[in-house]
Amino acid sequence: MGVTELPNELLDLSARADAVLARVLPPEDQPPAELHRAMRYAVLGGGKRLRPLLVYATGTTFGAPPDTLDAAAAAVEIIHAYSLVHDDLPAMDDDSLRRGRATCHVVFGEAMAILAGDALQALAFDVLAHDPTRDDPATHVEMLRVLAVACGSHGMAGGQAFDLAAIGRTLSPADLERMHVHKTGALIRASVRLGALAAGVRDAPTLDALERYGHAIGLAFQIRDDLLDIEGGTEQLGKTVGKDAAADKPTYPSVFGVAGSRTELARLAADALHAIEPLGASAAPLAALARFVVERQS
Amino acid sequence: MGVTELPNELLDLSARADAVLARVLPPEDQPPAELHRAMRYAVLGGGKRLRPLLVYATGTTFGAPPDTLDAAAAAVEIIHAYSLVHDDLPAMDDDSLRRGRATCHVVFGEAMAILAGDALQALAFDVLAHDPTRDDPATHVEMLRVLAVACGSHGMAGGQAFDLAAIGRTLSPADLERMHVHKTGALIRASVRLGALAAGVRDAPTLDALERYGHAIGLAFQIRDDLLDIEGGTEQLGKTVGKDAAADKPTYPSVFGVAGSRTELARLAADALHAIEPLGASAAPLAALARFVVERQS
Average pLDDT of span B10-35:
96
Residues of B with Cβ-Cβ distance to A88 under 8 angstroms: none
Q: Residue by residue, what is the 3-state secondary structure of chain A? A: CCCCCCCHHHHHHHHHHHHHHHHHCCCCCCCCHHHHHHHHHHHCCCCCCHHHHHHHHHHHHCCCCHHHCHHHHHHHHHHHHHHHHHHCCCCCCCCCEECCEECHHHHHCHHHHHHHHHHHHHHHHHHHHCCCCCCCHHHHHHHHHHHHHHHCCCCHHHHHHHHHHHCCCCCCHHHHHHHHHHHCHHHHHHHHHHHHHHCCCCCHHHHHHHHHHHHHHHHHHHHHHHHHHHHCCHHHHCCCCCHHHHCCCCCHHHHHHHHHHHHHHHHHHHHHHHHHHHHHHHHHHHHHHHHHHHHCCC
Point out the least confidently predicted range of A129-133, B150-154, B236-240.
B236-240
A contact test, residue of B126, B128, B143, B177 with most A CBs within 10 A = B126
Tell me phi and psi for residue B46, to 5 degrees.
85, -155
B contact test, residue of A88, A125, A180 with most B CBs within 10 A = A125
| Minimum Cα–Cα distance from B159: chain A residue | A32
Facing A115 at nearest CB: one of B82, B130, B161: B161
Looking at residue A82, what is its pLDDT? 98
Please choose, from the candidates B237, B143, B233, the residue with its C-alpha nearest in 3D space to the C-alpha of residue B195. B143
Looking at residue A245, what is its pLDDT? 61
Tell me phi and psi for residue A148, to 5 degrees.
-65, -45
Looking at residue B1, what is its pLDDT? 39
pLDDT in tens, A34-67: 999 999 999 997 888 999 999 999 999 999 999 9
Residues of B with Cβ-Cβ distance to A86 under 8 angstroms: 114-115, 118
Average pLDDT of span B3-22:
88
d(CA A222, CA A179): 11
Quick check: B57 pLDDT over 60?
Answer: yes
pLDDT in tens, B148-204: 999 999 999 999 999 999 888 888 999 999 999 999 999 999 999 999 999 999 999
Residue B158 CA, chain-centre distance (Å), reads 15
Looking at residue B186, what is its pLDDT? 98
Residue A241 — very low, low, confident or very high, per pLDDT cuts 50/70/90? low
Facing A34 at nearest CB: one of B83, B122, B165: B165
Facing B122 at nearest CB: one of A117, A148, A164: A148
Looking at residue B178, what is its pLDDT? 95
Looking at residue B170, what is its pLDDT? 86
Question: Does this complex have an ipTM over 0.85?
Answer: yes
* Range A174-197 burial, b when 16+ CB lie within 10 A, else e: ebbbbbbbbbbbbbbbbbbbbbbb
Looking at residue B197, what is its pLDDT? 98
In this structure, the dihedral spanned by the alpha carbons of residues A14, A17, A18 and A23, taken in order and rounded to 10 degrees, is: 160
Residues of A with Cβ-Cβ distance to B39 under 8 angstroms: 153
Residues of B with Cβ-Cβ distance to A147 under 8 angstroms: 125
Chains A & B: contacts with CB separation below 8 Å: 163
Looking at residue A229, what is its pLDDT? 86
Looking at residue B189, what is its pLDDT? 98
Local structure of B98: helix, strand or coil? strand
Please choose, from the candidates B258, B146, B151, B148, the residue with its C-alpha nearest in 3D space to the C-alpha of residue B210. B146
The pLDDT mean for chain A works out to: 93
CB–CB contact A35 B117 (8 Å):
no
Q: Which amino acid is at A66?
A: P
Q: How far is A240 from chain B (nearest CA, A)?
A: 20
Would you say A156 and A76 are in contact if contact means Cβ atoms under 8 Å apart?
no
CB–CB contact B111 A129 (8 Å):
no
Residues of A with Cβ-Cβ distance to B27 under 8 angstroms: none
Looking at residue B121, what is its pLDDT? 98
Residues of A with Cβ-Cβ distance to B186 under 8 angstroms: none
Residue A298 — very low, low, confident or very high, per pLDDT cuts 50/70/90? confident
Q: Which amino acid is at B175?
A: D
The pLDDT mean for chain B works out to: 93
| Minimum Cα–Cα distance from B123: chain A residue | A152
Looking at residue A119, what is its pLDDT? 98
Residues of B with Cβ-Cβ distance to A25 under 8 angstroms: none
Facing A165 at nearest CB: one of B34, B36, B154: B34
- Number of C-beta neighbours around residue A15 at 10 A: 11
Domains, in order of start, for chain B: 8-295 (1.10.600.10)
Quick check: A84 pLDDT over 80?
Answer: yes
Looking at residue A200, what is its pLDDT? 97
